[in-house]
Amino acid sequence: MAQSWGYTKQDGPHTWGQIAPIADSGKRQSPIDIIPREATYQEALASRPLRTIYLPQNSKSVINNGHSIQVCIDGADSCLTGGPLEDDRYEIVQFHFHWGTTSKTGSEHTIDGRQYAGELHLVHYNTTKFSSFADAAKSAGGLAVLGVFLTPGSENASLDKLTKLMSRVQNSGDSLDLQDGFDPASLLPADKTRFWSYPGSLTTPPCFESVNLDCLQGPDRSIRTTAGAVPSTEDRKSMLPC
């Protein structure tokens, strides 16, 4: 039986190597601390904004998966393209949140060591090269995760729709149908031309190094940090400054 993992002293990231050895031995583990002054600006990407096509009615349910609140999506006909994604098509599968117990903790990625209150992850898989999410999730170049930092501020009507539902999925395994659908694009910043990107991994066990685009918008619109995840020099070079 697979061991359980979590975020406490007993089962937190420093223990994940026991169930997912790559968490300790990997070369491109996410999350990372983004150091803007060490990032390389890539001119060529300035003309390739990220583009998303999402169908609101395909957002099917909200679930508590025991680690996060997640919206499950039937990604058919959706697509993420642009940025460093070359010509492959990525279909959305789900999005979920990472948060903390204070407004100063919660994001997984940090910028110059600074943590944000939360981090939204929109998970996509490469349908050009893979026939299932499971195959893509364990293969290099299989996934693309869009990350958005969350900070406390004025009410966000879109996010509010989801936070209102959270009290109804308080226990692991709870789920409810999204009768009216939900547009994932409504959670994205308007400016799709400014982001950092680097080759990374799933941020939780099994920690597979399959995420070829961990793409983060930041820092103003933006919501955990894992100690010790430092990018290789090579990875740092491919990060894009905001």
Q: Residues interacting with ligand SG7, by CB under 6 A? A: 65, 67-68, 70, 96, 121, 123, 137, 145, 202-204
| Nearer CB in complex with Zn ion: 38/189 | 189
How far is Cα 140 from Cα 109, in angstroms, rounded to an integer?
A: 21
CB of 107 to Zn ion, least distance (A): 10
Dump strand ranges (E) for the chain.
33-34, 51-53, 59-64, 69-73, 79-81, 90-99, 110-111, 114-115, 118-126, 143-150, 175-177, 196-200, 211-217
CB of 83 to Zn ion, least distance (A): 18
Catalytic residue among 14, 67, 98, 121: 67
The token pair at 115 is 């943590």
Q: Nearest residue by C-beta to Zn ion? A: 121
Q: Which of 75, 93, 116, 121 binds Zn ion (CB under 5 A)?
A: 121
| Nearer CB in complex with Zn ion: 121/192 | 121
CA-based torsion, 114, 228, 215, 86: positive or negative? positive
The token pair at 123 is 């998970």
**Residue 121 annotated in active site:** no
CB of 53 to ligand SG7, least distance (A): 20
- Letter for the amino acid at 60? K
Give the active site residues.
67
Residues that bind Zn ion (CB under 5 A): 121
